[in-house]
Amino acid sequence: MIILPAIDIKGGKCIRLFKGDFSKTTEYNKSPTDQAAEFTKFGFKNIHVIDLDGALEGTLVNKSIIKDIIKNTDVKIQVGGGIRSLENIKEWFDVGVDKIVIGTMAIKNIDFLKKACTEYKNKIALALDVRKGFIAVSGWKNQTKISALSFAKKIENFGVSRIIYTDIDKDGTKKGPNIEETIAFTKEINIPLIISGGISSISDVLNIKKMKSKNIEGIIIGRAIYEKNINLKELSEIL
């Protein structure tokens, strides 16, 4: 199972949202680059990096910071936020990104997702940001009536490398992930899935690992790391 510590960047700083609400943010002292260096020091091989400004504005905003992270760490970086074109995707791969996360553009333009998966085989991750089973887009601001499961079934044969499934109502709450809904989701599709949202403790991580579901590839962890509910050394020993 892959553990991906998360770095969400807004205004050039590490922040975490509460339930996807941009008016409820917590800012942390370490710079994104320093935070990535700390994750690397503890032996993590994958980092999940999101340009929140990019997600809101639909363009690459914190590009220079993310490039610094890539330049100064020898790990696999998964990047999302503001990626709206094949040119954006190429630019990230050219600087050494491991996987690209597409969310809003994939939902709005399913053909774009298909083209991206065809051109960059096993390199495109689909972000499904979900409230009560339905997808939200544009930095979680706009709620759609598109069923997450129906959409996943529609793109199942595109070649998406993984789905990042975020329960927005759990994200940033440290109240535990929505395991029941996530497991039900994985049983319906054949795409590897990364669980995101609500991870609160080492126990949550170990419980997910014990499930040994063939479709659960890993976990993204954010606020619980930043607020010391999860000890990085202890977490690294689970790798």
For the ranges 20-24, 112-116, 154-158, 220-224, which has the lowest average pLDDT? 20-24
Provide the token pair at 236: 């690294």
Q: Which residues pair with 115 in a beta bridge?
A: none
Give the domain range for residue 39.
2-236
Looking at the 3D structure of the chain, how many domains does it have?
A: 1
Whole-number Å distance between alpha carbons of 129 and 142: 11
pLDDT tens-digit readout, 59-91: 788 889 999 999 999 999 999 988 999 999 999
Provide the token pair at 225: 């790391």
Q: Which residues are catalytic?
A: 8, 129
Amino acid type, 101: V
pLDDT tens-digit readout, 158-212: 999 999 998 887 766 666 777 778 888 988 999 999 998 889 999 999 988 887 6
Torsion, Cα 52 93 41 177, to 10 degrees, reads 50
Query: Residue 196 — φ and ψ, nearest 5°?
Result: -140, 140
Q: Are 194 and 2 in contact (CB under 8 A)?
A: yes
CATH number at residue 29: 3.20.20.70
Find the mean pLDDT for residues 130-142: 82
> Angle at CA 237, nearest 5°, toward 235 and 238?
70
- Total-model pTM: 0.90
